[in-house]
Chain A
Amino acid sequence: MTVVDDRPETVAPAPRRRPNRLLALLRNSWRQLTSMRTALILLFLLAVAAIPGSVLPQRGISPEKVNKYFTDHPDWAPRLDRIGAFEVFGSVWFSAIYLLLFTSLIGCITPRLRDHVRSLRSRPPVAPKQLARLPQHAVLPAPAGGVAAVADVLRKRRWRVEVRGDEVSAEKGYLKETGNLLFHTSLIAVLIGVALGSWYGWSGNRLLVAGADNAFCNTRQQYAEAKLGPRVDSADLPRFCLRLDDFQARFLPSGQPESFNARVTVDGPDEPTRSADFSVNSPLRLADASVHLLGHGYAPVIRYTDRFGNSQVSDEPFLATGDRGLTGEGVAQFPDANVDPATGRRAPDQQVAFSGIYLPTAPQQGPFVRSEYPTERNPVLNLVAYRGNLGLDAGIPGSVYQLDQRQVRNGKVKEIGSKLLRKGETWTLDDGSTVQFLGTERYVTLSIRHDPGSMPLLLSCGTLLVGLMGSLFGRRRRVFFRVASTDPGNGSPTGGSSLMEAGGLPRTDYPGFADEFAQLVTAVSGADRAAERAGTDADSSDRAGVREGTE
């Protein structure tokens, strides 16, 4: 952030009165904060602070892993949790570092912005008296056109030129500081874009089973988990519904997925009714939301007919366990089973549930716990039946994909047997009720979200890159030309013809400046001839002639 500057700071006039202590302290702290050293330390701290975010599981990314960490390390986890180690990127200390860094950044670039605007509007400075003391220096025969010809050559090469009497000052490479400031301003814009997204954005994850009965409408209640930014209200969610019509997945012989495609019907007040396809990498873009395909699996359709002959159907998704064969685990619960049709009374201890494993391609022989292939080549449903009070009426929130294990441990729910079912097969339980495996539906895991900050983010990333390149590859430098005085003490070796003195000053580290300076000097001294020949051969002329050890 600090730029090499050749101009010495003007000595501040001595303070006339004792400065206010508090003000002085504030000013010194501000200077300290905006210094490069502090910025570097903060940058380093930022990098270090991000490390635990990758080592420890994070709630925002994988809450289930955080829970696992709590059970695995019961002594450490609460302590780590207290310092925000499971939410590193939202923690106080991480925020403090980047906010301080950005404050330091703003404090650093604001005065530089002012200075830069000033320097853009000011003219190149007066040439120093002793051009020979500059890093680059040359003496050349003055072109016939004098300083005007020199100024022409420089202007053609897009230098900013100022002619003062018999001397020419020129400066180039304002792009460096412009780019630098643009880069740092863009960083602030990136932060604003991220902030906008988290304040005004929302997102939710949802499993969607195929079929008209399972259509989903975009309301808060219909999400298993939803995150709304602080400035978003449930009523702000755009109103639309999605129905999964078809899901296609192709796999290689090894079981590795090859392609996915989901077809949905979009419908609702805020969206025209239409059919749409989307896939991994090509999300469904709606007016104020986008729908991303994250995963897929099977939802076994299970019909339970209780001892009174009433039947109910469950098509809850069996969550993929993460293996290649798409083994699914889930539960089908029938809390309204065994209601006596004569009395209409529910029997809470007569509720029925089945937990099980679904194997799209079961192995030829047991154990039937792991599917061999993700498509349904040999579908088998391995069910365990439970009867009792499922605990669904207690009002305690629980997973719909898992049996409430507390009820099992309390003995309120009893296991009554297990069986392997193929499609269409029926299993008669001990009380005469039956369960039938009718078939499967596909389900998809969707992430539905809206991020109003993404466009500002993209634009600021674009300007950031442009600025970065200007900042890294731009080179600020000055050259001066002066018609040498005829003073014999100046030691001009070729008396008679008028001579010109040239000096060059790279204001930033620039190894190639010697070459450029040499070329420039050649171009200037050949300016008269070049005008006639139209094409200048300055580039190929001896480069090493005037170079000095800058490289």
Chain B
Amino acid sequence: MSALSDNLVTFAILTYLIAMISHAVEYALGNARTRVAVASPARELVGAGVGAGGGVIPEPPAYVPPSPDASARRARIAGLVAVGATALAAVLHLAALVTRGLAADRMPWGNMYEFVLTVTFIGVTAWLVVLWKRPMLRKLGLFLTLVMVLLVATAELVLYVPIVPLVPALNSYWFVIHVSTIVFASGIFLVGAVPAVGFLMRNGYEQGKRSFPYTLAKRLPGAVGLERLTFALHAFAFPVFTFAVIAGAIWAEAAWGRPWGWDPKETWAFISWVVYAGYLHARATPSVKRNVATWLAVLGFLTMLMNLFGVNIFFTGLHSYGGLS
């Protein structure tokens, strides 16, 4: 069962890779996307139409597509293949988690490897939900699948540990409550970071910047829609994260005798919370520019990454369950 789980992870990575390549093909062929997107937004995906009509900003008029129909069709097929591959990868990903949990006879969140696998799974699931509601945002999938490939491959190559039972300190029902909510919130923040970066590039592009990172955003959906998605995801994840931190404090009171002790993990969770709170406040303040606010969201995600990788690798504390030595 354990070996099956490991194989499934490998297959999932390969499938994410296929999805990423298909997205890249769609991106490259996407010269004629403008016309197709504007003309028939509702035909893009099964379930389209729920949010169709929102977030469509026409491409800058300066751009003239060379041979619209043929390459548009090919791009569309590539895009659909990419989405299908992402969905398939998500299924493999889920199967890997389930088999891992069955093999370990517990929730698969006992160490960093399992943690990253679960966070990325939540991330890809949230992405598929977003895609189902807003098919227009499909092109963000290139960045999302890139993140998935990087994180899941890092998990498998660097963080992998064989299955062991939980240490007594983790043997509590708070383990399920605290870790599941942390994982969930992290997954949503992970997906939230993708449109945030997308918005920053696209916003620059729409303002006429044509230097390197901005040109990547040429074929991204409109900045307004990206920004709105960024906010929606963060507004959703923030209370979950808050709850997770509070649940952690309740658990810490039982396990270590104090709700909050500035353990490195706790400190970085505090930093992330403050930065994301800053983002939500900045977003609600008209005098703060949207790209400044969005930078805060990106910064928040960097602090989450720091908490996951930096704290587990460089610092020792009470949360040292990563399994790395």
Chain A residues within CB distance 8 Å of chain B: 1-4, 36-37, 39-40, 43-44, 46-47, 50-51, 53-55, 58, 60-61, 88-89, 194, 203, 252, 254, 256-260, 279-283, 290, 292, 294, 447, 449, 451, 454, 457-458, 461, 464-465, 468-469, 472-473, 509, 511, 544, 551
Contacts and interface: CB of A to CB of B under 8 A. Distances in A.
Given A40-B285, A256-B164, A281-B251, 15 more contacts: A1-B284, A4-B286, A44-B275, A47-B271, A47-B278, A50-B271, A60-B261, A252-B164, A280-B255, A283-B254, A449-B258, A464-B242, A465-B246, A472-B280, A473-B235
A173 B278 CA distance: 23
B288 A258 contact: no
Contacts of A468: 238-239, 242
Contacts of A454: 253, 259
Contact of B53 (A43, A292, A551): A551
Contacts of A544: 53
Contacts of B258: 203, 449, 451
Contacts of B315: 54-55
A53 B282 CA distance: 26
Contacts of B260: 194
Nearest to B264: A54
A292 B228 contact: no
Interface of B is mostly: helix
B58 interface: no
B209 interface: no
A135 B206 CA distance: 25
A46 B274 contact: yes
- Among A2, A194, A260: residue with most chain B CB under 10 A: A2
Given A53-B262, A292-B256, A461-B249, A281 B168 contact: yes
17 contacts: A2-B285, A2-B286, A43-B277, A43-B281, A44-B275, A50-B270, A51-B267, A54-B264, A54-B311, A252-B165, A258-B168, A290-B257, A461-B246, A465-B239, A468-B242, A551-B51, A551-B53
A282 to B, nearest CB: 7
A62 to B, nearest CB: 9
Interface string B205-238: 0000000000000000000000010010001001
Contacts of A472: 235, 238-239, 280
Given A47-B271, A511-B228, A61 B167 contact: no
Contacts of A279: 168
B38 to A, nearest CB: 14
Interface of B: 51, 53-55, 164-165, 167-169, 171-172, 174, 228, 231, 235, 238-239, 242-243, 246, 249-251, 253-264, 267-268, 270-271, 274-275, 277-278, 280-282, 284-288, 303, 311, 315, 317
Contacts of B259: 451, 454, 457
Contacts of B55: 551
Contacts, number: 140
A401 B235 CA distance: 52
Given A258-B165, A259-B171, A1 B254 contact: no
Contacts of A44: 274-275, 278
Given A256-B165, A281-B169, A461-B246, A47 B275 contact: yes
Nearest to B224: A551
B92 to A, nearest CB: 30
Nearest to B273: A47
- Among A88, A254, A468, A544: residue with most chain B CB under 10 A: A468
A447 B261 contact: no
A58 B288 contact: no
B286 A469 contact: no
Nearest to B270: A50
A46 B278 CA distance: 11
Contacts of A260: 168
A53 B317 CA distance: 12
Contacts of A469: 239
Nearest to B310: A54
Contacts of B169: 280-281
Nearest to A285: B254
A260 B170 CA distance: 12
A256 B167 contact: yes
Nearest to A283: B254
Contact of B257 (A39, A283, A509): A283
A509 B290 CA distance: 13
Contacts of A88: 262
Nearest first, the 9 A-B pairs at minimum CB distance are A551-B54, A292-B257, A54-B267, A281-B172, A54-B264, A47-B274, A447-B257, A43-B278, A47-B271
Contact of B243 (A46, A465, A509, A511): A465
A4 B284 CA distance: 8
B211 to A, nearest CB: 27
Contacts of B282: 40
Nearest to B172: A281
Contacts of A89: 262
Given A2-B284, A47-B275, A282 B51 contact: no
B268 A281 contact: no
Nearest to B255: A281
